[in-house]
Amino acid sequence: MVTFETMNELCLRITNQGAGDFVFTKAGAFIGGECVGAKNYTFTKVMLGPQEGFGQALLGQITRRLTGENLPLMKVEFSGDSVTYYANDQQHVVVYHLMNGESISVESENILAFTRDCKYGVRFLGQGVVSQKGLATSTLTGQGPEAYVAVLVDGNPLVMSNIQSGSTIEADPDATVCWIGADPTMRTDISWRNFIGQSSGESYMFEWGPQSHATVIIQPMERVSGVDLSMDGSRSGSRPSRQRSLF
């Protein structure tokens, strides 16, 4: 049995009971652990991907390379009761327990860990002309009672939901970490001002309408992405993504 919980906002605690279970985590994210007796957990780099079978794993790696959804992972295998801790560059950690059949769509660079009861995949949203965030997204779908996902957020997360209110939600794709529920549409607002470097900096948005029910997690820090449309070479983003590995 494996459970996830957030510790001190910046750390993931994974509690394992028994032998034979495993989880996937961001490569190099382990920061500490304890168990009774000798060490009873091991780390193995995932060469292709978390999918079952060589063919699916290879196809998954090719898809991630083509879409930019790079996912450097390691497999943590447990042979006894233990508690292990994971973190990444002081980013905040949010844990979500997926129900059976429920899916979370998340940027691959924001994935910290997930259990074996989560099925991983990459989906094309068929959107995103200016923003590179929107062409494809990683998905994790619950397929058992222990479907836990831990995501990374730069700063304290902002959670927005229109499930009860039926309101319209808009979010900057470069600040969107993940969502649970309906996929967004991409709304663009491009005019002649973009081409002379006088845009508002908000030329594209994810939008969930009143009938597109979702819970969205947003971080107070934007990534740099998208296409440079201005004459002065300025970009609408503010910083590079911290993910570099192409494994």
Classify 118 as helix, strand or coil: strand
Residue 78 pLDDT: 97
Question: What is the C-alpha to C-alpha distance for residues 169 and 164, in angstroms, rounded to an integer?
Answer: 12
Type of residue at 30: F
Residue 69 pLDDT: 47
* Nearest alpha-carbon partner for 203 in 228, 233, 168: 228
Residue 192 pLDDT: 43
Domain 2-218 fold? Double-stranded beta-helix (3.60.160)
Cβ contact 147:98 at 8 Å: yes
Phi, psi angles (nearest 5°) of residue 56: -65, -40
Handedness of CA 214, 70, 11, 23 (dihedral sign): positive
Residue 121 pLDDT: 84
Task: For 213-247, write each residue's pLDDT tens digit.
Answer: 999 999 998 876 544 444 434 444 334 344 444 44
Per-residue pLDDT of the chain (247 residues; tens, 9 = 90+): 999 999 999 999 999 999 999 999 999 999 999 998 999 999 998 876 565 555 454 445 545 454 444 678 899 999 999 999 999 999 999 999 999 999 999 988 899 999 999 998 887 765 544 444 545 678 999 999 999 999 999 999 999 999 999 999 999 888 999 999 999 988 776 544 544 444 445 567 899 999 999 999 999 988 765 444 444 344 443 343 444 444 4
For the chain, what's the residue count?
A: 247
> Tokens 């001002």 label which residue?
193
What is the Cα Rg of the chain in Å?
19
Residue 8 pLDDT: 94
* Nearest alpha-carbon partner for 161 in 84, 213, 99: 213
Phi, psi angles (nearest 5°) of residue 64: -65, -40
* Encoded tokens for 32: 């500490």
pTM: 0.79
Type of residue at 24: F
Residue 225 pLDDT: 55
Which whole-number Å values give the CA distances from 142 to 105, 116, 117, 145, in the listed order?
A: 12, 9, 6, 8
C-alpha 235, offset from chain centre: 23
Task: For 34-65, write each residue's pLDDT tens digit.
Answer: 998 999 999 998 876 565 555 454 445 545 45
Across the chain, the runs of DSSP E, i.e. the strands, are 2-7, 11-16, 22-26, 30-35, 41-45, 73-78, 82-86, 92-97, 103-106, 111-115, 118-124, 136-142, 148-153, 158-161, 169-171, 176-181, 185-188, 204-208, 214-218
